Amino acid sequence: MTRNERLARWIALLLPAALLAGAWGSQLFGHLYPCEMCHWQRWPHYAALPFALLAFVVPQRSVAKAFVILAALLVAVSGVIGVLHAGVEYHWWNGFTACTSTVDLRGLDAAARLDALMKAPIVRCDAPQWTLAGVSLAGFNAIFSLAGAFTVLVLMRKSR
Protein backbone atom coordinates (compact mmCIF):
# COMPACT_ATOMS: atom_id res chain seq x y z
CA MET A 1 0.00 0.00 0.00
CA THR A 2 1.36 3.41 -0.96
CA ARG A 3 1.78 6.39 1.34
CA ASN A 4 -1.11 8.19 -0.40
CA GLU A 5 -3.39 5.19 0.10
CA ARG A 6 -2.52 4.99 3.80
CA LEU A 7 -3.20 8.70 4.25
CA ALA A 8 -6.49 8.45 2.34
CA ARG A 9 -7.52 5.46 4.47
CA TRP A 10 -6.88 7.40 7.69
CA ILE A 11 -8.74 10.47 6.48
CA ALA A 12 -11.68 8.31 5.35
CA LEU A 13 -11.88 6.90 8.88
CA LEU A 14 -11.04 9.90 11.05
CA LEU A 15 -13.05 12.56 9.23
CA PRO A 16 -16.53 11.03 9.65
CA ALA A 17 -15.59 9.93 13.19
CA ALA A 18 -14.53 13.47 14.09
CA LEU A 19 -17.57 15.08 12.49
CA LEU A 20 -19.91 12.66 14.28
CA ALA A 21 -18.08 13.27 17.56
CA GLY A 22 -18.52 17.00 17.02
CA ALA A 23 -22.20 16.60 16.23
CA TRP A 24 -22.82 14.42 19.27
CA GLY A 25 -20.66 16.66 21.47
CA SER A 26 -22.58 19.76 20.45
CA GLN A 27 -25.81 17.90 21.15
CA LEU A 28 -24.89 16.32 24.48
CA PHE A 29 -22.64 19.00 25.94
CA GLY A 30 -23.59 22.13 23.99
CA HIS A 31 -27.34 21.44 24.13
CA LEU A 32 -27.72 22.09 20.37
CA TYR A 33 -30.48 19.70 19.42
CA PRO A 34 -30.45 18.42 15.83
CA CYS A 35 -33.25 19.08 13.40
CA GLU A 36 -34.41 16.58 10.79
CA MET A 37 -31.84 17.73 8.20
CA CYS A 38 -29.06 17.54 10.81
CA HIS A 39 -29.89 13.87 11.28
CA TRP A 40 -29.82 13.39 7.50
CA GLN A 41 -26.22 14.64 7.47
CA ARG A 42 -25.20 12.11 10.10
CA TRP A 43 -26.43 8.99 8.28
CA PRO A 44 -23.81 8.97 5.49
CA HIS A 45 -21.08 9.43 8.11
CA TYR A 46 -22.43 6.46 10.06
CA ALA A 47 -22.42 4.45 6.83
CA ALA A 48 -18.87 5.56 5.92
CA LEU A 49 -17.31 4.34 9.17
CA PRO A 50 -17.70 0.57 8.63
CA PHE A 51 -16.29 0.82 5.10
CA ALA A 52 -13.35 2.89 6.32
CA LEU A 53 -12.71 0.36 9.09
CA LEU A 54 -12.94 -2.56 6.67
CA ALA A 55 -10.25 -0.90 4.53
CA PHE A 56 -7.84 -1.52 7.42
CA VAL A 57 -8.59 -5.23 7.77
CA VAL A 58 -9.18 -6.67 4.31
CA PRO A 59 -6.03 -8.25 2.88
CA GLN A 60 -6.77 -7.50 -0.79
CA ARG A 61 -5.42 -4.09 -1.77
CA SER A 62 -8.05 -3.56 -4.49
CA VAL A 63 -10.90 -4.26 -2.06
CA ALA A 64 -9.38 -1.97 0.56
CA LYS A 65 -9.10 0.80 -2.05
CA ALA A 66 -12.74 0.28 -3.03
CA PHE A 67 -13.82 0.59 0.62
CA VAL A 68 -11.85 3.83 1.02
CA ILE A 69 -13.42 5.26 -2.13
CA LEU A 70 -16.89 4.20 -1.00
CA ALA A 71 -16.33 5.82 2.41
CA ALA A 72 -15.21 9.03 0.68
CA LEU A 73 -18.30 9.06 -1.52
CA LEU A 74 -20.53 8.62 1.53
CA VAL A 75 -18.76 11.52 3.26
CA ALA A 76 -19.36 13.59 0.12
CA VAL A 77 -23.07 12.74 0.28
CA SER A 78 -23.16 14.17 3.80
CA GLY A 79 -21.43 17.28 2.46
CA VAL A 80 -24.05 17.71 -0.25
CA ILE A 81 -26.81 17.38 2.35
CA GLY A 82 -24.91 19.97 4.41
CA VAL A 83 -24.95 22.36 1.44
CA LEU A 84 -28.71 21.84 1.06
CA HIS A 85 -29.24 22.39 4.78
CA ALA A 86 -27.04 25.49 4.91
CA GLY A 87 -28.94 26.90 1.93
CA VAL A 88 -32.19 26.44 3.84
CA GLU A 89 -30.67 28.12 6.91
CA TYR A 90 -29.41 31.09 4.87
CA HIS A 91 -32.78 31.25 3.08
CA TRP A 92 -31.17 30.76 -0.33
CA TRP A 93 -33.95 28.28 -1.08
CA ASN A 94 -36.97 26.86 0.69
CA GLY A 95 -36.71 23.76 2.78
CA PHE A 96 -38.67 20.70 1.82
CA THR A 97 -39.37 19.19 5.23
CA ALA A 98 -41.91 19.98 7.92
CA CYS A 99 -39.15 21.35 10.15
CA THR A 100 -38.80 24.42 7.93
CA SER A 101 -42.41 25.46 8.24
CA THR A 102 -43.29 28.60 10.10
CA VAL A 103 -46.45 28.87 12.10
CA ASP A 104 -48.86 31.47 10.75
CA LEU A 105 -51.27 32.35 13.51
CA ARG A 106 -53.07 35.17 11.68
CA GLY A 107 -56.82 34.77 11.49
CA LEU A 108 -56.92 31.69 13.73
CA ASP A 109 -59.07 31.33 16.80
CA ALA A 110 -57.48 30.35 20.11
CA ALA A 111 -58.02 26.58 19.66
CA ALA A 112 -56.59 26.62 16.13
CA ARG A 113 -53.60 28.69 17.30
CA LEU A 114 -52.87 26.22 20.07
CA ASP A 115 -53.19 23.32 17.63
CA ALA A 116 -50.84 25.01 15.14
CA LEU A 117 -48.28 25.73 17.85
CA MET A 118 -48.40 22.17 19.16
CA LYS A 119 -47.77 20.79 15.66
CA ALA A 120 -44.89 23.18 14.95
CA PRO A 121 -41.41 21.66 14.93
CA ILE A 122 -39.43 22.14 18.12
CA VAL A 123 -36.11 22.46 16.29
CA ARG A 124 -36.40 24.20 12.95
CA CYS A 125 -34.17 23.38 9.98
CA ASP A 126 -34.21 26.93 8.66
CA ALA A 127 -32.84 28.61 11.80
CA PRO A 128 -29.22 27.78 12.73
CA GLN A 129 -28.74 27.30 16.47
CA TRP A 130 -25.04 28.23 16.32
CA THR A 131 -22.72 29.99 13.91
CA LEU A 132 -19.06 30.95 13.80
CA ALA A 133 -18.11 33.79 11.46
CA GLY A 134 -21.52 33.40 9.84
CA VAL A 135 -21.07 29.70 9.09
CA SER A 136 -23.52 27.26 10.69
CA LEU A 137 -22.80 23.70 11.74
CA ALA A 138 -24.41 22.51 8.49
CA GLY A 139 -22.07 24.81 6.62
CA PHE A 140 -19.04 23.48 8.47
CA ASN A 141 -20.15 19.92 7.78
CA ALA A 142 -20.46 20.77 4.08
CA ILE A 143 -17.00 22.37 3.99
CA PHE A 144 -15.18 19.62 5.90
CA SER A 145 -17.05 16.72 4.28
CA LEU A 146 -16.64 17.89 0.70
CA ALA A 147 -13.00 18.94 1.19
CA GLY A 148 -12.18 15.68 2.98
CA ALA A 149 -13.91 13.50 0.39
CA PHE A 150 -12.16 15.39 -2.41
CA THR A 151 -8.80 14.94 -0.66
CA VAL A 152 -9.33 11.21 -0.22
CA LEU A 153 -10.35 10.75 -3.84
CA VAL A 154 -7.36 12.77 -5.10
CA LEU A 155 -5.00 10.74 -2.90
CA MET A 156 -6.49 7.49 -4.18
CA ARG A 157 -6.14 8.68 -7.78
CA LYS A 158 -2.50 9.62 -7.21
CA SER A 159 -1.80 6.15 -5.84
CA ARG A 160 -2.52 4.54 -9.20
DSSP 9-63: HHHHHHHHHHHHHHHHHHHHTT-----HHHHHHHHHHHHHHHHHHHHHH-S-HHH
Query: Tens-digit pLDDT profile for the chain (160 aa)?
Result: 788 888 999 999 999 999 999 999 998 998 888 888 888 999 999 999 999 999 999 888 888 899 999 999 999 999 999 999 999 888 888 877 666 655 666 777 878 877 776 766 577 777 788 788 988 889 999 999 999 999 999 999 876 6
pTM: 0.81
Task: Please count the CA atoms within 13 angstroms of the CA of 41 that sit on its side-chain side.
Answer: 31
User: Phi first, then psi: what are they for 81, rounded to 5°?
Assistant: -65, -35
Q: Widest CA span of the chain, in angstroms?
A: 69
CA–CA separation, 150 vs 121, rounded Å? 35
Is the separation of the CB atoms in 44 and 107 below 8 Å? no
